[in-house]
Structure 1
Amino acid sequence: MTLMVLTAVVALTGCDTAVQTDYSKLGLVEVSGKITFDGKPLSDATVMFEAPDETYSYGKTDESGHYTMMFNTEKTGVTPGKKIVRVVTGSVGDIGAGEGDEEEEQSAPAQQVAVPKCYNQKSKIEVDVKTSATFNFDLKTDCSTTGPS
């Protein structure tokens, strides 16, 4: 009898031990946009909005260069405030690695564009995230773009 009661209590209370994160206190802001490189959509690139404390939100561009920022793997959004924008092709760990090397850029596959260091490791592009927004960036080979449009 005791075993039956214990089984019923467990069944009624469930076994859900997953931690539920409360994002409401973060004030996350929805951010999306489009990245082009020399006027053409930049696909399969990672876009990062990095805060002064080096935390960041990220997004991945699709074939059209569109991205949506993610706070983490579960939640979209960016915390409000000033951010440095970094754009990298390849893996995030490759920020600035080999980029700007002409020989490497020429050997890269056609769909994989090597973004110059001025847009990732040495980025000077800044945005101030206050409310939901669309930030479009047209990056140039000569690094002439320094802000969102």
Structure 2
Amino acid sequence: MENIVMCIGNEDNGDDGIGPYIAKRLKDENLKDFLILDCGTVPENFTSPVKKNSPVNLIIVDATDMGLPPGEIRRIPREMIAKMHISTHNIPISVLISYLESHAKNIIIIGVQPKKMTGSMSEEIKRSCEKLIDLIKNRKFSEIEMLKIEKKK
């Protein structure tokens, strides 16, 4: 399997539902060379397919508070992961990545800035999800802007 997409989130928590939303939409596309995993809030329960398939690209998608306007999409550098709160997981995403790093050639972490974490998903977040779905299915990961690391003064 060339690409595995781990979609993380809880659809009962407003914009945290981007993971399940993106997983459903990508599954509907029937993409070749893609395995789409709707991991809910327990991505650690979905490590076996990654280990079994050793993908070229492991793409992890989650709602992430990056301090940006709602709906902004960024690739998150691995060195920033430990410093950020990413969604509602049982284990830190940095631990998950460390566990899987020997099983994937590239690990691409993609965050979408949420607007709210209650009620239903925001319309602007749905629009951002559609943009992200298009980028993923067309393998345009590098077109997603990298989150900038703030230099301490």
TM-score normalised per structure 2 = 0.26
* Structure with the larger RCO, 1 or 2 (CA within 8 Å, 6+ apart): 2
TM-score normalised per structure 1 = 0.26
Q: Which has the higher strand share?
A: 1
Q: Which has the higher helix share?
A: 2
